Amino acid sequence: MTTLAGKQVLVVGGTHGIGRAVAEAALAAGAVVTVAGRSGSALPGATQIAVDLAAPAQFAGLLAGLPVFDHVVFTAGARIGSPKFADADLAEWRLGFEVKFFGTIALLQALLPRLAVDASILLTSGVLSRKASVGGITKATLNAATEALGRNLAKELAPRRVNVVSPGVTATDIWGSGAARDDKLAGIAGNLPAGQVVQPADLAQLYLLALTQPAMTGSVLDLEAGALL
């Protein structure tokens, strides 16, 4: 395995949730971290830039002056619901793809000249890509497309490495706050083989593994507390 010490790491979506946990773990591992996002509190020790994946025309200007990156992590996405197919709002469905899928593609295209020749790229999908459910179709199709993107980029961008992390239910602020959040997550945990949901700090270690394992590319890495069983 390689080390992140002194490496330039960009975390898109790194101002909150899973991305923030990844950025914190990379900082702790000695990386020079830049976080990008639309909102969120500053992360001490990291450089922060404002990026909206739904506005690709801004990318060229935003990237000017940034360093060459050794690793790029994408965790950003639009918050979309979980409707049944008959009730799915196509505008919301399109927004999900516009931000997490097409926005990632556009930003990655803009970043290619700023990636080291041996850089790694890490995308984020989700357990619904391979777990069929009533109400999961919008997120399932988006996550499955992300996994297909990662595998194809691993071929096309080699020797740069491309991998995908697929989390299960993770205890982030997307679930709200307070007792209602805790009760909701406890109910989900009770139906999982591991008896718990995924913790952001634990998930971040899987991201760091993908960044530092030089023989890993084209992989989809699961951390989902047994939800796929």
| pTM, to two decimals | 0.95
Q: How confident is the model over 39-90, as pLDDT tens digits?
A: 767 899 999 999 999 999 889 888 888 999 999 999 999 889 899 999 999 9
Can you give the pLDDT at residue 125? 97
- Structural domain contains residue 173: yes
Residue 173 has pLDDT above 90, yes or no: no
- Structural domain contains residue 228: no
The predicted model gives 96-101 an average pLDDT of 95
Token pair listed for 5:
């010490």
- Structural domain contains residue 193: yes
- Structural domain contains residue 213: yes
Structural domains counted in the chain: 1
The predicted model gives 107-123 an average pLDDT of 96
- Structural domain contains residue 30: yes
Residue 212 sits in a domain whose CATH number is: 3.40.50.720
**Contact in structure between 218 and 150 (CB atoms under 8 Å):** yes
Helices 17-28 and 200-212 sit at what angle, rounded to 10 degrees?
60
- Structural domain contains residue 1: no
Angle, alpha carbons 69-74-76 (nearest 5°): 135
List the domain range (segments joined by +) for residue 185: 8-223
Position 117: which residue type? V
Over 156-181, what HEC string results?
A: HCCCCEEEEEEECCECCHHHCCHHHH
- Structural domain contains residue 185: yes
